[in-house]
Amino acid sequence: MTTTPPAVFAERLAAVAYRSGVYQLPDGRTLDWYGDPHRLAGDPELLAETAAALADLLPVGTEVLAGPALAGVPLVTAVSLHTGLPAVFLRPAPKDHGTWQQIEGADLKGCRAVLLDDTARSGASLLRSARLLALGRDFPELRLRGPNKSC
């Protein structure tokens, strides 16, 4: 449970991660500011506090955490460390080398997963991740089998 008042937490988060200036989105649209997840991940104290705040919001019965690579990995890992829940990581496409997997990490089959993302704008990335997560639950052979944790 977090003890920092929400307004103070929001101010600290903005001081670290808020970036002004033109930022181009993958779809070509631009913003005049954005929240930089890499700056958040680079501040261990704030990342831990963010993980605790997100952990407080997880639905009862959550069995595994999921997040998109790349920027979502530190956030999901931090929440995983805080809660002790296993984690999976979702790539935009299967790797073209190594394991050739698109979903990596803990065993996902049949688990109740919560998808965490570092940002949400149009929702397109979250929708892609949610579809992949649903596939991984039904077809575990599509991903690398990680540490055994049955759900």
Sequence-separated (6 or more) residues with CB below 8 Å from residue 108: 64, 66, 88, 133, 136, 137, 140, 143
Question: How would residue 1 be classed by pLDDT, with cut points 50, 70 and 90?
Answer: low
pLDDT at 60: 92
Which tens digit of pLDDT belongs to each residue from 34-70?
Answer: 888 889 999 999 999 999 999 999 999 999 999 888 8
Q: Is a pLDDT exceeding 60 seen at residue 118?
A: yes
Going by DSSP bridges, is the β-strand pair 103-105/87-90 parallel, antiparallel, or unpaired?
A: antiparallel
Q: What is the pTM of this model?
A: 0.79
State the average pLDDT over residues 106-128: 76
Condensed to tens digits (0 to 9), the pLDDT of residues 78-112 reads: 999 999 999 999 888 877 887 788 888 888 778 88
Identify the burial level of 9 via C-beta atoms within 10 angstroms of its C-beta, where 0-12 means exposed, 13-18 middle and 19 or more buried. Answer: middle
